[in-house]
Amino acid sequence: MALQTASLLPASFSIPKEGKIGASLKDSTLFGVSLSDSLKGDFTSSALRCKRELRQKVGAVKAETAAPATPAVNKSSSEGKKTLRKGNVVITGASSGLGLATAKALAESGKWHVIMACRDYLKAARAAKSAGLAKENYTIMHLDLASLDSVRQFVENFRRSETPLDVLVNNAAVYFPTAKEPSFTADGFEISVGTNHLGHFLLSRLLLEDLSKSDYPSKRLIIVGSITGNTNTLAGNVPPKANLGDLRGLAGGLTGLNSSAMIDGGDFDGAKAYKDSKVCNMLTMQEFHRRYHEETGITFASLYPGCIATTGLFREHIPLFRTLFPPFQKYITKGYVSEEESGKRLAQVVSDPSLTKSGVYWSWNNASASFENQLSQEASDAEKARKVWEVSEKLVGLA
């Protein structure tokens, strides 16, 4: 057991390499979370402290969930009653908003162990604590979706923990509605599509193998979409509208140098880049479904959780917008949902036994009942989905 625990040690959560700490600090500054150099020391020591804690916890989780020794469904010896082990769910961007609320809903159900895959360890730790998550129900692992290296490192670390993966939730996102000039990921992609789509695309492609191996009764890969990427809705018609065009900018790598930073090859627009990234998310979910659902039995799903007008997504918007947006959505469009309610919705897509249909984009009506929603023409275009897939796999180094 001592040996086994030791072998888990490096995997219990990933500490960025020296260079990487610098990178994540730089990113944090970029997103308005200022981590000074003096904090760097704190970050490292706190990371080590948490690593120690996790050694114990992951040991416990492992005992609970280890794949070959503990099958997903056990027959208890006493009454022949079937018991299900805890499911393991990775949620990207679980340090705030929808991701955190979902982590909370799942952790509190007692049926899930949540792996919070976050770019800012300290922020995630504080968020988990203030949300009241019980220590045994979650693990924080470092993941910066704006770096393909970090994505690969995350997958490696996760595999080393030997934890079965039952559900992956691609939730993290950035939105730069007021940016005049594009920003870029570590690999030189425009940051919204680079983070929201390409980072998740690589993560999902790599973790597909792990999901396939899970013996959990319902394994799922979920990609959060949005109404604002769907031009068959009023919200999707608020300018600038999503439009991927012929993907010439994406094919050029979104570098903003010899090619445009925008997928359609047009002038940079931060709000459009976000909406385009959501179209990619919804197309990717469907392409996964077409390619892998039958073979793997994995349920692929996307959703629009409602307008969660209070989250960090709008942190880069002007203050007036941030003040008026929640009442506007609450009283005028009636599209508003609280973070708590949105978390329950996404938690349903993770674990509700009635939501196992694959290839579906879920939404909720005003009575909070789920229904299969229609995607816009572009967001359901199978030919475009195939092209986005093929171009994306070249960009992330899979083809």
Q: Determine if 323 is a binding residue for ligand LMG (CB under 6 A).
A: no
CB-based contacts of 342: which residues, under 8 Å, 6+ apart? Answer: 98, 101, 102, 305, 306, 308
Q: Determine if 325 is a binding residue for ligand LMG (CB under 6 A).
A: yes
Stretch that binds ligand NDP, among 159-167, 169-177, 205-213, 261-269 (CB under 6 A): 169-177
Segment 282-341, which members bind ligand NDP (CB under 6 A)?
A: 304-305, 307-309, 311-313
- Rounded Cα distance between 246 and 24, Å, is 33
Site string for ligand NDP, 114-133 (x = CB under 6 A): ----xxx--x----------
Q: Are strands 112-118 and 87-92 parallel, antiparallel or unpaired?
A: parallel
Segment 129-158, which members bind ligand PMR (CB under 6 A)?
A: none
> Is 357:253 a contact under the CB 8 Å cutoff?
no
Q: Determine if 382 is a binding residue for ligand LMG (CB under 6 A).
A: no
- Rounded Cα distance between 44 and 267, Å, is 40
Place of tokens 């978390």: 343
Q: Determine if 175 is a binding residue for ligand PMR (CB under 6 A).
A: yes
Given candidates 69, 332, 367, 369, which one binds ligand LMG under the rule CB under 6 A?
332
237 binds, among ligand PMR, ligand NDP, ligand LMG, none (CB under 5 to 8 A by kind): ligand LMG
The residues annotated as belonging to the active site are 274
Q: State which amino acid sits at residue 376.
A: S
333 binds, among ligand NDP, ligand LMG, ligand PMR, none (CB under 5 to 8 A by kind): ligand PMR
- Rounded Cα distance between 371 and 362, Å, is 6
- Rounded Cα distance between 346 and 224, Å, is 9
Segment 246-265, which members bind ligand NDP (CB under 6 A)?
A: none
Given candidates 97, 164, 177, 343, which one binds ligand LMG under the rule CB under 6 A?
177
- Rounded Cα distance between 110 and 222, Å, is 21
Report the candidate in 56, 64, 69, 63 with the shortest Cα–Cα distance to residue 9: 56
Given candidates 9, 39, 235, 251, which one binds ligand PMR under the rule CB under 6 A?
235
Stretch that binds ligand LMG, among 63-71, 83-91, 151-159, 317-325 (CB under 6 A): 317-325
Taking the complex as a whole, the smallest distance from the CB of residue 238 to ligand PMR amounts, in Å, to 4
Which residues are near ligand LMG by CB under 6 A? 177, 233-234, 237-239, 271, 321, 324-325, 328, 332
